């Protein structure tokens, strides 16, 4: 009986040891566990050029030129900001948030990108990543290229939200903006009714008119519901870009109650607007002309830019 008991104890001990060894064998090593955790924290997205892009969990050194409006709206700061002409021209209206951020040229020179040691690169259009550029950038950091379908500022914001795992926040930014525009539209209607307006960009006394479906044109005609002058509709129908040059002789046809002018010259628009040919334009005739510097947000699009444009409109015509 004693021998049988000892044998059972012995066999039970062997069984327990076997179970423990098996459990240890199935336990992942610390490196394997870390790898699993790392893999689960990264997301893989397909960009507009069909590249699979692994997005880091929490990128800290981001380059996303000309997309800064959307980044800032989501509380994200890039490591470099878009510029042209060697940094002499930047998005001035965003400088409250970007004043300490160094510049990078709009065409993303390889050496400049490398110098910032980015952990994520977001490119606003396929043209910037043409040829061998994508391969060069992707060797520096994961690189996501946005497509032409993202040209609408709302789509861009949502896409940026998707890239950074902040889709809900991007939707909230849009909802807040839409409410802000709705309130402004109501305020304008209550104070001055339903006037017409147009935006022109004055470059050395040459007139460029904004399209009714782009930039500040969208803010005026879609978000604020201002009437679209016939000439704006005509020019927009054949526009090749956001802004179209219009001759002085053509511009005299504008039937706008309010005129917003972006001046690219320090002298302003006094010479242009004082031309006798324009004297009978309703906005000029009634003194409803409002001028802004190119450093304002009128030449840009985004939740931040558009809010500033709306505030400018309210301060101008709905005091």
CATH number of the domain to which 220 belongs = 3.40.50.1980
Q: At what angle do helices 153-163 and 303-317 cross, to 10 degrees?
A: 140
User: Over 70: is that where the pLDDT of 7 sits?
Assistant: no
User: For the chain, what percent of residues have pLDDT higher than 90?
Assistant: 80
Final residue of a structural domain among 100, 132, 167: 167
In a domain, 238, yes or no: yes
In a domain, 239, yes or no: yes
Task: Specify the pLDDT at position 142.
Answer: 98
> Which of these ranges, 14-23, 63-72, 141-150, has the smallest mean pLDDT?
14-23
Which residues, including other chains, have CB under 8 Å from residue 226's CB and lie 6 or more apart? 188, 194, 195, 196, 197, 220, 258
Which candidate, 231, 159, 169, places its Cα nearest to that of 197? 231
Per-residue pLDDT tens for 209-254?
999 999 999 999 999 999 999 999 999 999 999 999 999 999 999 9
Q: Same domain for 195 and 159?
A: no
Number of alpha carbons in the 13 Å side-chain half-sphere of residue 248: 14
| CB-CB contact of 70 with 150 (8 Å) | no
Q: Same domain for 160 and 49?
A: yes
Cα 73 to chain center, whole Å?
9
Q: Same domain for 300 and 253?
A: yes
Query: Which of left, alpha, beta for 107 (phi over 0: left; psi -120 to 50: alpha)?
Result: alpha
Q: How confident is the model at residue 291 (pLDDT cuts 50, 70, 90)?
A: very high
Q: Same domain for 45 and 159?
A: yes
Task: Specify the pLDDT at position 266.
Answer: 66
| CB-CB contact of 55 with 64 (8 Å) | no
| CB-CB contact of 63 with 81 (8 Å) | no
Range of the domain at 72: 39-167
User: Over 80: is that where the pLDDT of 31 sits?
Assistant: no
In a domain, 28, yes or no: no
User: Over 70: is that where the pLDDT of 13 sits?
Assistant: no
Task: Specify the pLDDT at position 148.
Answer: 84
Task: Specify the pLDDT at position 225.
Answer: 97
Coil vs helix vs strand at 264:
coil
Phi, psi dihedrals of residue 83, rounded to the nearest 5°: -160, 165
Q: Given 3-state DSSP classes, what are the helix, strand and coil percentages for the chain, each rounded to the nearest 5? A: 50, 15, 35
Q: Same domain for 148 and 238?
A: no
Question: What's the CA gap between 307 and 178, in Å, rounded?
Answer: 10
Task: Specify the pLDDT at position 319.
Answer: 85
Q: Same domain for 154 and 210?
A: no
Q: How many structural domains compose the chain? A: 2
Our separate counts of H helices and E strands in the chain read 14, 12
pTM for the full predicted model:
0.86
Task: Specify the pLDDT at position 4.
Answer: 38
Question: What's the CA gap between 252 and 209, in Å, rounded?
Answer: 13
151 CB-contact burial (10 Å; exposed 0-12 / middle 13-18 / buried 19+): middle
| CB-CB contact of 263 with 202 (8 Å) | yes
Beta bridge mates, 246: 207
Which residues, including other chains, have CB under 8 Å from residue 306's CB and lie 6 or more apart? 153, 177, 181, 218, 219, 223, 297
Per-residue pLDDT tens for 119-138?
999 999 999 999 899 999 99
């Amino acid at each position: 009986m004693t021998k049988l008991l000892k044998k059972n104890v012995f066999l039970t001990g062997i069984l327990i040891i076997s179970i423990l060894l098996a459990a240890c064998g199935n336990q992942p090593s610390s490196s394997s566990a870390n790898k699993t955790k790392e893999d689960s924290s990264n997301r893989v997205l397909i960009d507009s050029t069909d590249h699979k892009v692994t997005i880091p969990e929490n990128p800290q050194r981001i380059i996303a030129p000309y997309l800064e409006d959307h980044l800032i709206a989501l509380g994200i700061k890039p490591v470099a900001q878009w510029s042209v002409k060697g940094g002499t021209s930047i998005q001035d209206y965003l400088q409250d948030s970007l004043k300490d951020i160094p510049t990078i040229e709009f065409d993303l020179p390889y050496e400049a990108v490398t110098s910032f040691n980015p952990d994520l690169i977001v490119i606003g259009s396929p043209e910037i990543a043409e040829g061998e550029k994508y391969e060069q950038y992707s060797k520096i950091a994961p690189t996501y290229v946005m497509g032409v379908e993202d040209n609408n500022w709302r789509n861009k914001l949502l896409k940026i939200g998707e890239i950074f795992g902040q889709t809900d926040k991007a939707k909230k930014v849009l909802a807040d903006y839409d409410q802000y525009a709705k309130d402004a539209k109501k305020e304008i209607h209550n104070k001055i009714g339903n006037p017409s307006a147009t935006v022109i960009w004055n470059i050395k006394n040459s007139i460029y008119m904004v399209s009714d479906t782009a930039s500040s044109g969208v803010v005026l005609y879609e978000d604020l519901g201002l009437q679209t002058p016939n000439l704006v509709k005509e020019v927009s129908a054949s526009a090749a870009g956001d802004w179209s040059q219009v001759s002085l002789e053509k511009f005299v046809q504008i039937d706008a109650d309010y005129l917003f002018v972006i001046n690219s010259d320090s002298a302003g628009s006094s010479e242009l607007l004082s031309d006798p040919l324009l004297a009978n334009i309703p906005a000029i005739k009634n003194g409803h002309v409002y001028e802004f510097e190119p450093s304002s947000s009128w030449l840009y699009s985004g939740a931040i830019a558009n809010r500033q444009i709306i505030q400018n409109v309210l301060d101008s015509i709905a005091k």
